[in-house]
Structure 1
Amino acid sequence: MSTTPAVVGVIGGGRMGAGIAQSFAAVGASVTVVESDERAAAAALERIAAGLTRAAEHGNLHEPFDRVLDRVTTTDSVAALPADADLVVEAVSEDATLKARLLAAAERVVGEQTILASNTSSLSIAELGAALTHPSRFLGMHFFNPVPASALIELVVAPTTSHQTLRTVSAWTHALGKRDVIVKDSPGFASSRLGVALGLEAIRMVAEGVADPQAIDDAMTLGYKHPMGPLRLTDLVGLDVRLAIADHLHATLGERFAAPRLLRDKVARGELGRKSGKGFYSWK
């Protein structure tokens, strides 16, 4: 396999999936994005086009916009994934049953050369890989939001992941202009486990009236040089996503990851962060 995958499939065209598709198309890959229906597929293509427009405006697109976008196709069926795909990345919501089902369906379509990956931020790679016939060609590729601008991909290795799979995906990571960190399969991996721990404590501090969200975030950005405070980051990731990860970590690692009532209440009210217009900040 080359240092850049020529043919890539992305299952899920939401914010993360669209960013993944954009990133691979921008380095020359032919990308097929799978969504749940025709309407969702059209919306995914619009997200990718908008991302490419922003990249062009910032001077980060090294080919004409139309040429890059022409390398992206969308479909509403996993069966339409190209059989000659070098890589298929699953990037749907944090639902282990859904992810395992889609990964198994993709494996039945693609060839034996295809590497499968999940963009999960916390679920067990070994458990997802149990649904596959060839788990040696499967690993976690945890991208970060926003994908095109992020410098990191967390590569998560299960006991069944082959060394060749890891080497190949690491090379592809560098071809995207990103760096990788390699972690073994464990609850929350490295990034989510630490990030959620900080975010949950920040939410508890808001609930206890220690300080307002801006003050807490400023303490971390100005005092500890974090590029973004934990509450603004929670808004960017999505409060519902943070809650789902916290619940998973609570179940696997114990009480220190119990979600604060404030987080549950906000999610119940639909205050999900930037995507809903309101979280710990107003995004309207």
Structure 2
Amino acid sequence: MKNIAIIGSGTMGNGIAHTFAQFGYQVNLIDINNEALEKALNTISKNLDRQVAKGTLTESEKTITLSNITTFTDMKSGIAQSDLIVEAATENLELKLKIFKDLDTFAKPEAIIASNTSSISITKIASVTNRGDKVIGMHFMNPVPVMKLVEVIRGYATSNETTALVMDLSKKLAKVPVEVNDYPGFVANRILMPMINEAIYTLYENVAGVEEIDTVMKLGMAHPMGPLQLADFIGLDVCLAILRVLQDGFGNPKYAPCPLLVNMVTAGNKGIKSGEGFYNYANGVKEAVVASKFS
């Protein structure tokens, strides 16, 4: 598999494109408008500059990486010759089902179609295609060029051959693939999101403040980032969407999102992406939001 298409050029999409291109794959990066694609290329270029500054990449390798990426606004053209297509659109079931219907129509019959979904059922996504054996989850972690883990999720119909190919491909990207089965939240978010939700409840019930909660988890449990800061980094809207997938998928009230999280997302406070979540990121400085806003 040498020709890769990435659907969606946001944070995850451009990171996945960056990683494949850096390892010599020909990447078609696809989004609905040129503005989004230009922003993605600028982000990739800046991230490559960081690697050059750290000495992990040369200037010539940066140039080659960027030359391996071609942008498209037309999906049909962008995926026509692709061996692997990775969907990295917003974590929205209806959107993903529409995309996969189109991908199944336009992609060559032997192409594998993967989703970077962090919680949505691969089996459900595959059900709208005629190639369930070639549909799989390929859940990268953010930031993609840095994080080693790839959750490889087998849907009900995913074949052994498809799984083996994607596991091997992940290793060729210097990642560590972990094969998991298709249940809500898979492994990473089934464990992570209840922890984040409980941290939000701890704040909501005024047990402690934002910085105090994060400090306990960093110093007491050796987490590199506290759960509230991590929620901001992931995106509070994404956290809420995943918790709702868990709640609906298991029918268990323990996954119900904290009312504070619901209110914050409703108000447009989604974390780093909106400039404010549990911390305020104005002027490039991270400061905990005053406690009164959470009561």
* TM bucket normalised to smaller: over 0.9
Could you tell me which residue of structure 1 aligns to residue 45 of structure 2? Answer: 49
Structure 2 gaps, min length 5 = 283-295
Q: 1:149 is matched with which residue?
A: 146
Cα distance between partner residues in 1 of 2:49 and 2:104: 33
Give the structure 2 partner of residue 39 of structure 1. Answer: 35
Q: How does 1:80-229 map to 2 (within 5 A)?
A: 80-229=77-226
Which shifted more, 73-82 or 163-172? 73-82
Q: Using the TM superposition, give the Cα deviation of residue 87 of structure 1 relative to its aligned residue in structure 2, in angstroms.
A: 0.9
Instruction: Select which of 39, 42, 61 maps to 1:64.
Output: 61
Unaligned runs of 5+ in 1: none
Report how far residue 94 of structure 1 moved: 1.1
Aligned residue among 8, 18, 21 for 2:17: 21
What TM-score, normalized to structure 1? 0.95
Instruction: Determine helix, strand or coil for the equivalent of 1:31.
Output: strand
Among 3, 6, 19, the residue aligned to 2:2? 6
Q: CA deviation at 1:239?
A: 0.3
How far the C-alpha of 1:67 sits from its partner, in A, is 1.5
Q: Matched residues in 2 for 1:91 and 1:48: separation?
A: 16
Counterpart among 259, 274, 277 of residue 276 in structure 1: 274
Question: In the TM superposition, what whole-angstrom CA distance separates every residue of 1:250-281 from its partner, at most 9, and x where no partner exists?
Answer: 12222111111111111122211111111111
Partner SS for 2:136: strand
The number of residues matched between the two structures is: 280
Q: Which piece of structure 1 moves more, 19-28 or 43-52?
A: 43-52
**Which amino acid in the other structure matches residue 89 of structure 1?**
V
The question of whether the paired residues in 2 share the 8 Å contact of 1:19 and 1:51 is answered with no
Could you say what the CA RMSD is over the residues aligned between the two structures, in angstroms? 1.3
Flag the structure with higher helix content: 2
What is the CA-CA distance between 1:170 and the residue it aligns to?
Answer: 0.5
- State the shift of 1:64 in Å: 2.7
Letter aligned with residue 53 of structure 1: D
Report the equivalent of 2:291.
none
User: Do the aligned partners of 2:79 and 2:85 also contact (CA within 8 Å) in 1?
Assistant: no
Shift of 1:61: 2.5
